[in-house]
Structure 1
């Protein structure tokens, strides 16, 4: 935008921008006000907002140094807007000061355009337009929010913005790279991804089907998602069995992408080494899921399996505490395994970690525990994931029930993914 000043006078460009931005705000505000208040209580038309912007520009140009005329005009405009609000409140019982605030913002556009970079004033205009148009969206969102939703958000802000910066970054145990800061940093990152997946499921994909539930749930925990889907499948028909297993596999596919994000946050070198394998694993798993989904379509009777809303919030203090404890345990185990058993023992530990949450084990490797080499971290990450998928398959078989129609689909679908991942792991070793 600043390049226009090389071809046109600065005053002309600023005047045109102020006029256009003011008109856009006036158009959006007029539409919303007519729906909410009606013609009789309308503060002004789109031309009114345009003239407010032009007035602000003229008064700013007449006194660009001290802003006395601009501030005086703002005071008069504020008085007129206050009188308008008083009349609407007393005679028409119409409340709300949104229009007044937007009119004052429109009045301030001129000095903002004249003194600030283009990205800033465009960002201001876009924000005003979006928030004006999203009024009903915010209303519906507030109605859907749980009573403790703001408390949950406050908890996340507290653990990430208050507790984390206050923690010391000094080793708790001599010789082991384990600090309060590193423990809580890993907890905050994982909790943030979990909280994001919860918000997506509750507010963005609220009416989603089983497949979307598997995708979003995989961002939080593939083990939890597979267990929940397996329990819910007990009420499903045999025709829906491939769909449930496809959703489980999509959760596993998203798990690979989740670990790519975590690895990229904590170790860029490891990401460069491991990302081809994790992407291939994710793609293979998603392909098997799509195949199972197509099987359901061939035998479908036209009904769509419905999923009950999962109301639990993953961002709980006890969950964060359990993760922190597991992180400490795996950090100590990894250190002493390397000391007494070397990389061979670490490879064995990676398979054992699959029986619990593998995230703490992988994250403590990424944060440099024992100065583990990147190829070893890559191998251990892939081994832990394969082990965890096998454990998840056992969970799925258990929670689905002994006579569930899901069992053959689980064995075929997840078994195929495990075989493909083992083949890729062997390729990594012999490469």
Structure 2
């Protein structure tokens, strides 16, 4: 926008912008008013808001030093808005003040355009238009929210914005890279990704199909998602079995992308080495899922989420506590394994970690283990993931039941992914 001032007078550009922005706000309010409340409750029309913006600009440029005219005009506008609100409340029983606030924002557009950079005033206009149009969306969102949803958000803000900055960054055990700040930082990052997945699953893809449930759930926890899908599959028909296994494999595919994000946050050096392998395995898992989904003609599968099964809060204190404890355990285990068993012991530990949550083990490697080279961190991360996929396959077989029609599909689908992982790991070793 600033480049236009080189070719056109600044006053002309500012006047046009103020007029257009004010008109857009007025049109948005007029449309919402006619659709939901009725024209009588609106403070003027779209032209009125355009004139409010123009009036603000005129009074602003007539007294550009003390701004007395601008402040006086704002006071008069405030009185008119107050009278309008009183009439709406008395005659139409409308108590909202959104229109009044937007009218005052419209009046302030002129000094904002004249004094602020283009990105800022465009951001203000976009925000006003979006929040004006999303009224009905926010109403539906508030109706769907659980009673403790704001408490959940407050928990996340507390652990990330209050607790984390207050923790010391000094080793708890001499010569062991284990600090309160590092422990909690890993917890905050993982909780943030899990919380985002939880919000997407609950509010964006609430009525999604089985496949979408696998995709979104994989960002949170592939193990939990696979276990839930396996339990749900007990009620499914044999024709629907491939769809559930495809969703499980999509959860595995998203697990690779989740670790790609975590590795990028904590260790760029490791990311530059491991990202081709993680992307390939994510594509292999997604390809196997697509094969299962497309090969067989199946009826539509209902993906409505059962809150009792998979709508759990990812920020529960016990979840964070378990993660922190596992992080400490793997940090200490990794340190002393390197001392007494060397790199071979760390390789064995990576496979053993797959029987639990592998995220603390991998994040511990990424946050620094002293003399461990990036190549070994990459190999151990891949080995832990392979081990965890094998454990997830066992979970899927167990929770789906002994007589489930999914068993052959689980063995085939997960088997292909595990074999591909092992081949890729061997390629990494012999490269």
* Residue 191 of structure 2 corresponds to residue 191 of structure 1: yes
What pairs up with 1:219-298 in 2 under 5 angstroms?
A: 219-297=219-297
1:18 aligns to what? Answer: 18
**CA drift at 1:326:** 0.2
Of stretches 224-233 and 309-318 in structure 1, the one that deviates more from structure 2 is: 309-318
Q: Tell me the residue number matched to 2:157.
A: 157
Are the counterparts in 1 of residues 30 and 39 from structure 2 also a CA contact under 8 Å?
no
Question: Does the aligned pair in 1 maintain the 2:42–2:99 contact within 8 Å?
Answer: no
What is the rounded CA distance, in whole Å, between the counterparts of 1:259 and 1:265 in structure 2? Answer: 10
CA displacement at 1:306 relative to structure 2: 4.1
Matching residue of 1:399: 399
Corresponding residue of 1:304: 301
State the partner residue of 1:9. 9
1:93 maps to: 93
**Secondary structure class of the residue paired with 2:129:** helix
- Cα distance between partner residues in 2 of 1:211 and 1:362: 27
| Aligned Cα root-mean-square deviation (Å) | 0.9
Deviation at 1:308, TM superposition (A): 3.9
1:338 touches 1:370 (CA, 8 Å); kept in 2? no
Q: Which residue of 1 aligns with 2:141?
A: 141
Q: Give the CA deviation at 1:41.
A: 2.8
Residue 177 of structure 2 is matched in structure 1 by: 177
What is the DSSP-based 3-state SS (H/G/I as helix, E as strand, rest coil) of the residue aligned with 1:314? Answer: coil
**Unmatched segments (≥5 aa) in structure 2:** none
Give the superposition deviation at 1:295. 2.7
Q: TM-score, normalised by structure 2?
A: 0.98
Partner residue, 2:425:
425
Q: Distance in 2 between matches of 1:31 and 1:147?
A: 33
Cα distance in 2 for residues equivalent to 1:386 and 1:83 = 69
Question: Quick one: distance in 1 between partners of 2:390 and 2:357?
Answer: 13
Alpha-carbon distance in 1 for matches of 2:179, 2:300: 53
**CA–CA separation in structure 1 for the residues paired with 2:304 and 2:39:** 45
Question: Is 1:216 paired with 2:216?
Answer: yes
User: After TM superposition, which residue ranges in structure 1, 4 or more long, deviate above 3 angstroms?
Assistant: 305-308
Q: Post-superposition shift, 1:341?
A: 1.1
Alignment partners' CA distance in 1, 2:25 and 2:118 = 17
Q: Which segment drifts farther, 302-311 or 162-171?
A: 302-311
Deviations 1:276-297 (A, max 9, x none): 0000000001000000111332
Matching of residue 122 in structure 1 with residue 119 in structure 2: no
Q: Provide the C-alpha distance between the structure 1 equivalents of 2:99 and 2:16, rounded to a whole number of angstroms.
A: 23
> Residues of 1 paired with 2:409 and 2:40: CA distance?
65
**Cα distance between partner residues in 2 of 1:336 and 1:387:** 22
Q: Is the 8 A contact 2:389 2:418 kept in 1?
A: yes
Distance 1:218 1:126 in 2: 33
- Per-residue deviation, residues 270-324 of structure 1 (Å, max 9, x unmatched): 1011000000000001000000111332xx2x34244442332222110000000
Tell me by how many angstroms 1:153 deviates.
Answer: 0.5
User: TM-score, normalization: structure 1?
Assistant: 0.98
